[in-house]
Amino acid sequence: MIHTQGQKEEKVKMDQTLLLSVLLSQLCWSVSLDLQYHFIDKKMSWSEAQSHCREQHTDLASVNDMKDLKNLKAAANGRTDAWIGLHQTSDNLTDRKWHWSQPTVRYKEGDSPWKQGEPNDDRGTENCGMMDSDGLWNDHYCRTPHCFICYNDSSNTTVMINDATNPRTWLKAQQFCRTHHTDLMSGLDQYKLFQKQNLTLPSRCWIGLFRDTWGWSDRSDSSFRNWNTWVNPQTKKCAALGAEGRWESDDCGLNKSFICEGAPKTNLKGSFVLVKENKTWEEALIHCRHNYRDLAWSIDIESLKQEVQADIRDANSEFVWIGLHFACFFEAWVWVDGKYVPETNDNWKERGGSECGHVAAVERGGDKKWVKKNFMDKYNFICMRR
């Protein structure tokens, strides 16, 4: 079909309108939607706790920010030594990924002012980032004490902490910044802000960069970490809630209490409903939020197979909408509840080509994989019940 210039401009306007409405609704939704945590006072290994949480709730607890951490601590009510959903996902050093200490800031490969030849990962132990006096970055061993740069969200300023009598390791610097400011300086925007303030570094100082191979049980892409001490990935590959809400790594086979996320499940199949009306993705989103809870989010392949596979087979469209869209601004696939989908997620049937402005559906037949679609297509859709 050949589109006139006017039609093309109209389509661009529609794309922009949809993306803006989704982004705004996503921001409002993510602000108001708190994770629900449940402390389970039964002793299980990490994998047994994971199975229990997935059967009875949603999954082992994930923590996305300080607000979630506060709610997690409230659910624990002073109890500690309980499994959460963080675990080491790989023993291979090449699988480490860079993150920012502030979980709302995403690290972009190739878009960072590294010093020439950096990061060089000397002896495979340089997992934290710092800034030299020339403003360029390099990776370094996390346990050496240095000055560091904090960020204040309330004043939108950066603060250099240079206590010659008490320099801090990267982890201690993070704890200091979170206690007295907001967090360690994270992301290019805060880096540029630091440059504008014309602060002089006495030497190399810690910033909020770190890398690891840890991930969450629910496969959310949160980079939030709140370790009390450095982890021992050789033998201790699972995380547990420790004193003051900080986390400890431990042997995954040990039996501990644990914390689940999500409301208790009563009827799995009753959690979702297939709406056999053909609507655009935006129309489906509005319909679900008006009549139910939301367009179905955070559905993986196993959930589809266990909970709604029969419903999807009954659809009268080739594909079925779910609440997943590509957020162009963040360059990532995002659920309508605000959670990112990791790049490594294997629920996709195929990837490739332009993704900006696209949304996701599930195939009615086959393996129920996710499929990238144009948001103006019309399909049946899955809503979540309240």
The whole-number average pLDDT for the span 43-64 is 92
pLDDT category, 368, cuts 50, 70, 90?
confident
pLDDT over 70 at 183, yes or no? yes
> What are the boundaries of each domain within the chain?
37-91+218-261, 95-212, 267-384
The whole-number average pLDDT for the span 32-56 is 87
Domain 37-91+218-261 has what CATH class? alpha beta
> Which pLDDT score is estimated for 25?
45
Averaged confidence pLDDT in the chain: 85
> Which pLDDT score is estimated for 265?
53
**pLDDT by residue (tens digit) across 324-363?**
999 888 888 999 888 888 888 888 988 878 899 899 999 9
**pTM of this prediction?**
0.66
Please state the three-class secondary structure of the chain as a single string.
CCCCHHHHHHHHHHHHHHHHHHHHHHHHHHHHCCCCEEEEEEEECHHHHHHHHHHHCCEECCCCCHHHHHHHHHHHCCCCCEEEEEEECCCCHHHCEEEECCCCCCCCCCCCCECCCCCCCHHHCCCEEEECCCCCEEEECCCCCEEEEEEECCCCEEEEECCCCCCECHHHHHHHHHHHCCEECCHHHHHHHHHHCCCCCCCCEEEEEEEECEEECCCCCCCCCCECCCCCCCCCCEEEECHHHCEEEECCCCCEEEEEECCCCCCCHHHEEEEEEEECHHHHHHHHHHHCCEECCCCCHHHHHHHHHHHHHCCCCCEEEEEEEEECCCCEEEECCCCECCCCCCCECCCCCCCCCEEEEEECCCCCCEEEEECCCCEEEEEECC
37-91+218-261 and 267-384: identical CATH topology: yes
For 267-384, CATH gives: 3.10.100.10
> Which pLDDT score is estimated for 225?
97
